[in-house]
Chain A
Amino acid sequence: MLHLDHLLLTEPGFALSADLTVPKGARVAVIGPSGAGKSTLLNAIAGFMAPTAGRILWQGADLTALPPGDRPLTILFQDQNLFPHLTVAQNLGLGLSPRLRLSADQHKAIDRALDRVGLATLGPRLPSQLSGGQQGRAALARALLRARPMLLLDEPFAALGPALKADMLDLVSEVAAETEATVLMVTHDPTDAKRFADQTILVADGMARPPQDTAELFQNPSQALKDYLGS
């Protein structure tokens, strides 16, 4: 269970509070207007931003002081999920060993992960030689390898077309299922939320609201959600 305990995040001219829990294994969409703080929330959970107050707990353990790499999670950013100077296989390898000293088993695991996401022969390529969809797959393959308990997605597929994006979301679902990960996914597309997430966190008006059942949320939208959806 992820517990945001009276969390307060502030930047100049910006504040966001969150006091909520996400059950283990849940798939949660994070929606809300631009600039409301969806990415900020994920950045704080991932450890790129220190909270002004409050704590972040996973299964009762306080993560707040841990460096990003030591947190039980994998995060996919909007872009720059791969180092352009390293091959796809090396990019995956860094997920297993920061020093890139890999055992034979780990090399095999990388091959399997690549195979799993449909990039079987592309390990030796540089990211710039891949299409946008393939780059997303490579990043997911690394998440698969790392198999951390949480997977945070900061709109990594926003640039992809609808069909491709649907494929990727399916792949995320599979990866999450295989690694039994709790998923938090930022999106601005209600269809994504409905398709992928059983629960949804609405971020608006300086507050991240506790997750609600996605279907229910969209059936009986609150005023804040109505404002966002423009309905």
Chain B
Amino acid sequence: MASRAGQVRPALGAVAIAAALGGVTLGTAFAVALQAGSFALSPADWAALRFTILQAALSSALSCALAVPVARALARRRFVGRGLLVTLMGAPFLLPVIVAVLGVLAVFGRSGLFNDLLALLGLPRLSIYGLHGVVLAHVFLNLPLATRMILQGWQAIPAERFRLAQSLSMGPGAVLRHLELPMLRATLPGAAVAVFVICLTSFAVALTLGGGPGATTVELAIYQALRFDFDPARAAALSALQFGLCAGAVALGWRALQAPGFGAGLGRRLAIPAPGGWRRAADALVIVLAAGFLLVPLGAVLWRGLWGLSDLPPGLGAALARSVSVALASTLLTTSAALVLALAVAARGSRLIEVAAMLPLAASALVLGTGLFLILRPWVRAEDVALPVTILVNATLSLPFVYRLILPQAQAMQADFGRLADSLSLTGTARLRWLVLPRLSRPLGFGAGIAAALSMGDLGVITLFAGESGATLPLYVHRLMGAYRMDAAAAAALILVAVSFALFALFDLWGRRAAS
């Protein structure tokens, strides 16, 4: 039902962005592949592939299974501090990996709170190290993302539909069948694919908590191939394998995808009916457990960081300023690009653009950085382009998240108001201002917050480019840790977390304010 003339330009923009994404992800892998080396994969690489898929599948399944009751409880219960809790619970996803691992260990490690509690009760201590530890940490990191994606699905069901269900005397079971299951069928595959693909490229979490070389992922094999064997072709082959897995997962997700088709509501903000009785108690329990699981490790990170705050090195301020600038620039870049892609897909649906938008999830940061280094080096000095490259890479890596967050509501907007806007000649900036921004401000604000925080926390590529004085805050934390200065590192990490979170909360708040 798309019209022709009015939408040619955004589609062109979308194609250009999709091409750029393909260039940055696949092109860099190609640049690496052009280097010398052998493409042969060893039996150990195949073992790594099996472990990678296993841990990613388990992590994704568990994250999504747990996210459903949490999102439902949050969607239909109202209590003091709910908004703050929803925002806070998003924080683990934004933590730098090593900080998150230390937080998880403070609770579930050998001498963590959980084991102390078990010991107090006379029970044997449990070891976190192994496949279950990897999955636990991945659930800690990704439950917030899955919860928020599903919560948005719940909030996208117009309140009128719930009232209709009430008027038809539908019980919770019937509401589940007629309203919630269709929504979950539309939302869950996206969340599952996103978490699965994020866990595919896990490296530090898998290795640190995996307990030994059995927990080797493809990303570690890439690291080894590039750093210790200097076998770029093998790294590129492994990277291609990772892209293949990602494409497969996205394709599977599509087969499961179904449009929710709720139609539009009038935008009245009504409370979703909240059944009482045992369901109320169950919801309360779910919220308390999820909040505890996500917030206690976070609290441990903060507590640990407080001690070093008095002894921060002077270079931290500059690193922080660099990180914030990088985060803001890449947020602007990635949110605009994701919006253009989501609008184009909502208007006409293009699988090629969809694939391009998901590609960065499967990209190995190391291959990406190395590829960019190889491509750019003949023309510029690495340390001169450290920050622009970091902005580009961070924008690329966070794009899939922002895109996935915007897309469902962009599609709903297109279905509900696309024809009306077309009939009123609402195109270009007028459409952006009077239709797109007001309708999409909630996912845009949330997406921009995610992008900003991810960009703050990302270490990936800067190590290849940063010169003597070009460190971003995560790199600075890493350098402090590498120099025994664990207290200062913990304090710097605390600042990193606080600033990431503040950026996230600001954007998210802006989106929610603008939406109401």
Contacts and interface: CB of A to CB of B under 8 A. Distances in A.
Interface of A: 43, 46-50, 65-70, 74-75, 77, 79-81, 83-86, 90, 94-95, 98-100, 126-128
Contact of B417 (A70, A80, A90): A80
Interface of B: 1, 3-6, 263-268, 416-417, 419-420, 422-427, 429-431, 433-435, 438-439
Nearest to A85: B438
A75 B416 CA distance: 15
Contacts of A67: 3-6, 422, 425
Given A80-B264, A80-B417, A70 B425 contact: yes
A68 B267 contact: no
A69 B420 contact: no
Contact of B423 (A49, A74, A84): A74
A67 B419 CA distance: 11
A132 B138 CA distance: 49
Contacts of A85: 267, 438-439
B425 A69 contact: yes
A83 B417 contact: yes
Given A79-B264, A85-B438, A128-B268, A69 B422 contact: yes
Contacts of B264: 79-80, 84
A128 B267 contact: yes
A83 B266 contact: no
Nearest to B425: A69
A77 B265 CA distance: 15
A100 B242 CA distance: 48
B426 A81 contact: no
A68 B420 CA distance: 9
Contacts of A43: 1, 419
Contacts of B1: 43, 48-49
A99 B426 CA distance: 8
A127 B420 CA distance: 15
B4 A84 contact: no
B4 A98 contact: no
B435 A83 contact: yes
B263 to A, nearest CB: 8
B416 to A, nearest CB: 5
**CB-CB nearest 7 A-B residue pairs:** A69-B425, A84-B267, A67-B5, A85-B438, A68-B422, A98-B430, A128-B266
Given A65-B4, A84-B267, A48 B430 contact: no
A46 to B, nearest CB: 6
Nearest to A130: B266
B1 to A, nearest CB: 5
B426 A94 contact: yes
Given A84-B264, A90-B434, A99-B433, 17 more contacts: A46-B419, A65-B4, A65-B5, A67-B6, A68-B3, A68-B419, A68-B422, A68-B423, A68-B425, A69-B425, A80-B417, A84-B265, A85-B439, A98-B425, A98-B430, A99-B429, A100-B433
